[in-house]
Amino acid sequence: MRLSGATLFYRVRGKGPLLLMLAGGHGDADMTDAVCEQLINHYTVVTYDRRGLSRSTVNVSGDTPTVAIHSNDVHHLLAALTSEPVFVFGSSIGALIGLDLVTRHAEQVRVLVAHEPPVWELLPDAERDRAIRSLENIVETFRREGSNAALQEFTAFAAVDRADCEPDVVLPRPSPQIEANMNFFFTNDALGVNDFRLDIAALRGAATRIVAAGGRTSHGSLPRRCAEALAATLCTTLIECPGSHMGWLLRPKEFAARLFEVLKEQSVTFDSVRLSPKLDGTHLTLAH
C-alpha cells in the first residue's frame, strides 16, 4: 500500500487541560488566535495547520486529503502530545474531523463540541441535495472566478453576516498565504465534505460527550440545520453559540465565554493533562 506523508505544524499555548481547536474552511493554526487568547488561562490550547495549509506540507505524490486523512493526522498529533483524553472544539469541516476522530479513536476525546458540522447525510432529502449542489456550485465559482468570489458565495450559503462582529475584533488581513490556503481548500478539501459519511453507530457507542452547537444568528442555514439534525440523531440538546457559522472568528470574546461555559458544564472536574516532552517541538512528521 502506497502511503502518503505530511509534515504537520502545530502550536501549544496556555495552561490547564488540553483543548484542541479545529478551525473550519481554510483556517490554519493562527486563524483562531482571537478566541484562543480568551481561553489560554484555562486550557492548554493546541492549534495546527491542516495538511496543505500554511506551514504543513504534503508530499507531491500524496493523495488528495479527505476528512479521514485529516482525522488520522489529529489522532497522531494528540498521541504525540498526551495519553489522556482531551477537549476538542471543531467548526465546519473541523467539526467533521472531530466527529470522525471520535468514531475511530474515542478514547482520545473527553468532550467534542461540533459547531455546525456539514453532515449533509443527516438532512432530509431535499435539503441534503440542495447542500451538495450548493457546495459543488461554490467550487465551480472558484474554478471560474477565484477564491474570493467562492468565499463570498460560501458566506451567503452559510448565512454569515460579517457586520455581526464585536466592535474591537481584528480580522486577518488578506495575504498571499491566506490566498494560497483558500486555493488549497477549494481545490482539495471542499468537495471532500460532500463525500464524507458519518459512522452514527460508533458515535452513539462512544464514551465521548458530543455537543452539537449552532450559531445564534444562523437559523435556517443548512450548516445550522446539520447541527440541529446531529443533536436529534444523538438525542442531545443543541446549544447555541454567539454569531453564526463564523462566530468564533467574528465574536471571539463572547464565543470563548460560551465555549468555556459549555466545556465546564460537560466536565465539572477534569484533571490537568500531563503533556509529554514532545511538546518541545513545533513540527511533527506524520506517515500514513
C-alpha–C-alpha distance, residues 204 and 208, integer Å: 9
DSSP secondary structure letter of residue 136: H
**Per-residue pLDDT tens digits for 21-79:** 999 999 999 999 999 999 999 999 999 999 999 999 887 666 688 999 999 999 999 99
Residue 285 in this model has a pLDDT that exceeds 70: no
Domain ranges of the chain: 5-274
Residues 6+ apart with CB under 8 A from 148: 182
- pLDDT higher than 80, residue 267: no
CA atoms within 13 A on the CB side of 199: 16
CA 80 vs. chain centroid, Å, equals 20
**Does the pLDDT at position 288 exceed 50?**
no
Question: How many C-alpha atoms does 3 have within 13 Å on its Cβ side?
Answer: 6
pLDDT one-digit tens code per residue, 152-197: 999 999 999 989 999 999 988 889 999 999 999 999 999 999 999 9
Helix (H, G, I), strand (E, B) or coil at 220: coil
Quick one: CA dihedral 211, 282, 5, 148, positive or negative? positive
pLDDT band at 282 (very low <50, low <70, confident <90, very high): low
Q: How much is the mean pLDDT over the chain? A: 90
> What are 37-47's pLDDT values in tens digits?
999 999 999 99
Domain 5-274 is classified in which CATH homologous superfamily? Answer: Alpha/Beta hydrolase fold, catalytic domain (3.40.50.1820)
What is the enclosing helix (H) or strand (E) of 123?
none
**Identity (one letter) of the amino acid at 71?**
S
At 261 the pLDDT is: 96
**pTM attached to this predicted model:** 0.92
Give φ, ψ of 9 to 5 degrees: -100, 135
